Chains A and B, each alone.
Chain A
Amino acid sequence: MIFNSLTFLIFLFLVFIIFWSLNHRWKNIFLLVVSCVFYGFWRWEYLIVMFVSALTDYYTSLMIYNTPESNRKKRRLLLFVTLSVNLGMLFYFKYLYFVLDNSNSILALFNIDYRFTLYHILLPFGISFYTFETISYTVDVYRGVVKPKKNFLNYALFITFFPKLVAGPIQRASELIPQFTQNYRIDMEGVAHGLKRIIYGLFLKVVVADNLAGFVDDAYAMNYSMASAIDVFTLAFLFGFQIYFDFSAYSHIAIGTARLFNIQIPENFDFPYMTRSLKGFWKRWHISLSAWIRDYLYLPISGVRVTSSSGKSGIGVALDKNRNQRSTFALFVTWAIMGFWHGANWTFLFWGLYHASFIYIERKLAPVRASSAFFRMRLVNWGITLIVAMLSWIPFRTKTLSETFTLYGRLFNYKNYNYLSLRENAYIVCFCLLLFIVLAYAFNKYVEKNLERYTALNYAFSLVKYTVMVFLIVVFLRPITQFIYFQF
């Protein structure tokens, strides 16, 4: 089921009413059932894939826990089994086509007649997200960071809990499962906050991101070899805005929906485009994925022992703390994997390495930046970071590396800076959205709190704001597009 649909809104209303009418001991069972219904509305048969992953980790983590630390061989074997099952399924659904297709190209290159048969496999929604959750659970048990749960219901709910099931935020067992053991009490503060986040999310998705999609598609339909340099920046910014509004909208709705059931899910975005360094960007963009990458890839590859598990703070913290010799190697390997996690295409690998390279440059240039008054200016740092971050979206949106390099190549010829070749609306929309983000940030940081001191004004402002938002949501609500991150 997708959030930007009438079906979901009715589903949510019914689930909310029934959940709070039920006796405590039925609440979790009910949540598990409705989570399966939520997923099944897309494809019922793919519930099996999710439960194979969940059951594997449930049993292997119990077995790991019951195996003495001295028997490292068996513990490692069990961990190997669970990783093989999870990553094997991910490989089959997400990467098999890509590997076979590339293998065929290599065979052709060497004039070998054999070709692998290619067939498309429907990627199960959310597989990249719930696979990471199940892996993190078993690895945490292996590390001794968490104890395995004997109650399968709570464990299954940790994997399937519908608000975060399809596109995160990626949860940690240590943060989510304890909340399922609470004595549920309806919290009006939580319900109001949850509804507010759902309205924000729907507004960003159906009013902003979906209407922006048309401009982005139109702009990217251009002949890249004729693009001006300004066009390349515009293309990058347009898609950067689209993916941000689209994905942060999903996170708003996920967090808001969970709050309706008194469950807290960590934030996933925090104005990433207002940051002044790439390291800061990764503390504010898809925070739960960055944190996962930090704990299960970057730090282990760097040789740092991980002793806690949290889906908060993103990867920036680890970049600060960890500067040993292997950290550069870890940085590039981590980002390469991060790139491939997003999709089976060389463009995603390039995207990952792009980020790794710029973070590496940022590290190396830190002393220069610190000693230069110009580079200490907030506006300069913000501008540079924004441009670097936005340009990274080019490989994310283009279909091939050749298209990516064609567009980047346009930036390196001064003659390409003196003409424009997109429709004027593309530039106007791009500018308006940048202004929108800056104003929203300024409002959030400087105005919102102060406004609360003037009660009547605050009420009036809120009434107008929510009426306009709800009106636009009602007008534009149509499930014409999925959330972009569903495909990952």
Chain B
Amino acid sequence: MKARVLLIIFIISLFGALLILKVFFSKITDFSTFALGTETVTYWAKDSNENLIHISAIDSVGNNSIINSWTQSGQKNVLLVLGNSQTHSINQKNINEVTFVEMLNKRIDKYYVIANTYPNASLQDFLISYKYWMTVLPVKAVVIPLFLDDMREANGISYDFYPKLVDKNFSFEENDNILLRKLNISFSSLREKKIGLDDSKHNEKLSTQDIVEKYLNTQLDNNWTVWNNRKNAQGILFGKLYELRNTIFNIKATTVRRMIPDKYVDNMTALDLIISDVQKNGIKLFLYVPPIRNDAEKPYDPKEYRLFKSQILDILNKYPNTVYFKDYDKIIPSKYFGHKASTSLGKQTEELDFMHFQYTGHRILSDSLAVFLLNNGIR
């Protein structure tokens, strides 16, 4: 091909690429709720003063909101609720409908209920959250749902969930556990990535390139909408790849996903670490197997689900007076669960949503948890 023709092609390609970015990727999409589907929305609980008590990412804003809310409410002891998107979502939400976290906050007098939840959170995420909130608030009770979905495969930590912890050099002081060492390494590697281009693990001085690059990107983000569309395009492209995978391999919400042994073991270890820590600190721990819809085959291998429950009981037997446990997997009737859009390419049909339920489901869960907590000294 002649050089001049090739050069013209390059120039047209550049303008073509920018045009595609401008035309097809300008609609802002909230990727944090991408997997929830259209029926389910997120809801962040508030206390009776309309102060925020439920956050996802531990960043400066979220952290300060929770601490302000707690201060204004009279600095009571804290009941910390951890969880995943089930805790912060409502299916087919109507006006004034709230999550079980908000209901608990209003029902429980002597403790101030706060919540910290992430989509697909693992027990390792819960361990980090728990350890963090312990250091900033007088946490005296913790509620943790045990989702097999996330325990069997979720692993690692994400900067999006803990920006404040990464920035503040968070690490576990105990160094005698392989998992804690692994999490510490993850934190330091996130920190290195955050520092960015600088190779200096031990010298956090920014290079000229870091400064210039940051300046250029900020200027372009603020002043050129096409450049700003890039994040959107990244999310959409990955979403399409995910749908393509599901289409090719016929993966649906009902597809049984297998347990990944080492990730499961790591999450069980995280649970063990939480339990031994609450025991050491005199904190009450409330565990529950969360509600799941029961009108279809669960996307779990039945053998693995049974094993999971029996292993939880084994752990509980090790700590009889510290940990309280309930199995809520059938407490919410299936009619209160919803649907979500198909996650395969081009399909208009809806799929069953096993995880997220309607307001009534939140009310049922709140009632059950309230009794459970009350019976064990949390009023």
Q: Which of B5, B9, B18, B203 contacts A122 (CB 8 A)?
A: B203
Main secondary structure of the interface of A (DSSP, over half): helix
Residues of A within 8 A of B1 (CB): 452, 458-459, 462
Known contacts A5-B213, A120-B201, A475-B234; A421 and B10 CB within 8 A of each other:
no
Question: Of B58-66, B76-84, B132-140, B258-266, which binds chain A?
Answer: B258-266
Q: Which of B17, B153, B201 contacts A471 (CB 8 A)?
A: B17
CB-based contact B17/A41 at 8 Å: no
Find the B residue at minimum CB distance from A428: B245
With the chains together, A423 CA to B203 CA distance in Å?
35
Known contacts A459-B9, A479-B213; A474 and B21 CB within 8 A of each other:
yes
Find the B residue at minimum CB distance from A226: B262
With the chains together, A251 CA to B210 CA distance in Å?
23
The verdict on B364 contacting chain A, using a C-beta distance below 8 Å, is: no
CB-based contact A467/B13 at 8 Å: yes
Q: Which of B12, B197, B202, B216 contacts A120 (CB 8 A)?
A: B202
The verdict on B20 contacting chain A, using a C-beta distance below 8 Å, is: yes
Residues of A within 8 A of B209 (CB): 1-2, 5, 7, 41-42, 479
Residues of B within 8 A of A125 (CB): 199
Q: Which of B7, B201, B237 contacts A195 (CB 8 A)?
A: B7
The verdict on A258 contacting chain B, using a C-beta distance below 8 Å, is: no
With the chains together, A42 CA to B208 CA distance in Å?
6
With the chains together, A474 CA to B224 CA distance in Å?
13
Residues of A within 8 A of B302 (CB): none
Q: Which of B155, B199, B234, B245 contacts A476 (CB 8 A)?
A: B234
With the chains together, A323 CA to B4 CA distance in Å?
49
With the chains together, A411 CA to B9 CA distance in Å?
49
Residues of B within 8 A of A122 (CB): 199-200, 202-203
The verdict on B33 contacting chain A, using a C-beta distance below 8 Å, is: no
Residues of A within 8 A of B4 (CB): 188, 192
Q: How far is the CB of A277 from chain B (nearest CB, A)?
A: 34
Mask, B190-204, CB within 8 Å of A = 1, is 000100110111110
Chain B stretch 168-208: residues in CB contact (< 8 A) with chain A: 182, 186, 193, 196-197, 199-203, 207-208
The verdict on A10 contacting chain B, using a C-beta distance below 8 Å, is: yes
Known contacts A218-B155, A428-B245, A463-B12; A192 and B17 CB within 8 A of each other:
no
Find the A residue at minimum CB distance from B251: A424
Residues of B within 8 A of A221 (CB): 155-156, 182, 186
Chain A stretch 15-47: residues in CB contact (< 8 A) with chain B: 40-44
Residues of B within 8 A of A218 (CB): 155-156
Q: How far is the CB of A10 from chain B (nearest CB, A)?
A: 7
The verdict on B212 contacting chain A, using a C-beta distance below 8 Å, is: yes
CB-based contact B156/A480 at 8 Å: no
CB-based contact B216/A6 at 8 Å: yes
Residues of B within 8 A of A459 (CB): 1, 5, 9
The verdict on A466 contacting chain B, using a C-beta distance below 8 Å, is: yes
Residues of A within 8 A of B28 (CB): none
CB-based contact A463/B13 at 8 Å: yes
The verdict on A167 contacting chain B, using a C-beta distance below 8 Å, is: no
The verdict on B230 contacting chain A, using a C-beta distance below 8 Å, is: yes
The verdict on A310 contacting chain B, using a C-beta distance below 8 Å, is: no
CB-based contact B207/A421 at 8 Å: no
Mask, B12-28, CB within 8 Å of A = 1, is 11101110110000000
The verdict on A96 contacting chain B, using a C-beta distance below 8 Å, is: no
Find the A residue at minimum CB distance from B230: A475
The verdict on A151 contacting chain B, using a C-beta distance below 8 Å, is: no
The verdict on A189 contacting chain B, using a C-beta distance below 8 Å, is: yes
The verdict on A223 contacting chain B, using a C-beta distance below 8 Å, is: yes
CB-based contact A188/B3 at 8 Å: yes
CB-based contact B7/A188 at 8 Å: yes
Q: Which of A6, A428, A463 contacts B9 (CB 8 A)?
A: A463
The verdict on A342 contacting chain B, using a C-beta distance below 8 Å, is: no
CB-based contact A475/B237 at 8 Å: yes
Residues of B within 8 A of A421 (CB): 260-262
With the chains together, A123 CA to B201 CA distance in Å?
11
With the chains together, A466 CA to B10 CA distance in Å?
7
CB-based contact B197/A2 at 8 Å: yes
CB-based contact B7/A470 at 8 Å: no
Q: How far is the CB of B214 from chain A (nearest CB, A)?
A: 10
Residues of A within 8 A of B234 (CB): 475-476
Known contacts A7-B213, A458-B1, A471-B16; A466 and B9 CB within 8 A of each other:
yes
CB-based contact B216/A195 at 8 Å: no
With the chains together, A42 CA to B182 CA distance in Å?
30
CB-based contact B216/A10 at 8 Å: yes
Find the B residue at minimum CB distance from A120: B202
Find the A residue at minimum CB distance from B24: A471
Tell which of B16, B182, B262 has the most Cβ of chain A within 10 Å: B262
The verdict on B233 contacting chain A, using a C-beta distance below 8 Å, is: yes
CB-based contact A42/B13 at 8 Å: no
Q: How far is the CB of A230 from chain B (nearest CB, A)?
A: 13
CB-based contact B217/A199 at 8 Å: no
Residues of B within 8 A of A462 (CB): 1, 6, 9
Chosen A-B contacts, 19 in total, with CB atoms closer than 8 Å, are A41-B207, A122-B199, A125-B199, A188-B4, A189-B3, A195-B6, A196-B6, A221-B156, A423-B153, A425-B245, A452-B1, A463-B12, A463-B16, A467-B16, A469-B13, A474-B230, A475-B233, A476-B234, A480-B196
Known contacts A467-B16, A482-B197, then 4 further A-B pairs from the complex at CB < 8 Å, ordered by chain A residue: A5-B197, A42-B197, A42-B209, A467-B13
B interface with A by C-beta (< 8 Å) = 1, 3-7, 9-10, 12-14, 16-18, 20-21, 153, 155-156, 182, 186, 193, 196-197, 199-203, 207-209, 212-213, 216-217, 220, 230, 233-234, 237, 245, 249, 258, 260-263, 265-266
A interface with B by C-beta (< 8 Å) = 1-2, 5-7, 10, 40-44, 120, 122-123, 125, 188-189, 191-193, 195-196, 199, 217-218, 221-223, 226-227, 420-425, 428, 452, 458-459, 462-463, 466-467, 469-471, 473-476, 479-482, 486-487
3 tightest Cβ-Cβ pairs between the two chains A and B:
A223-B262, A471-B17, A466-B13
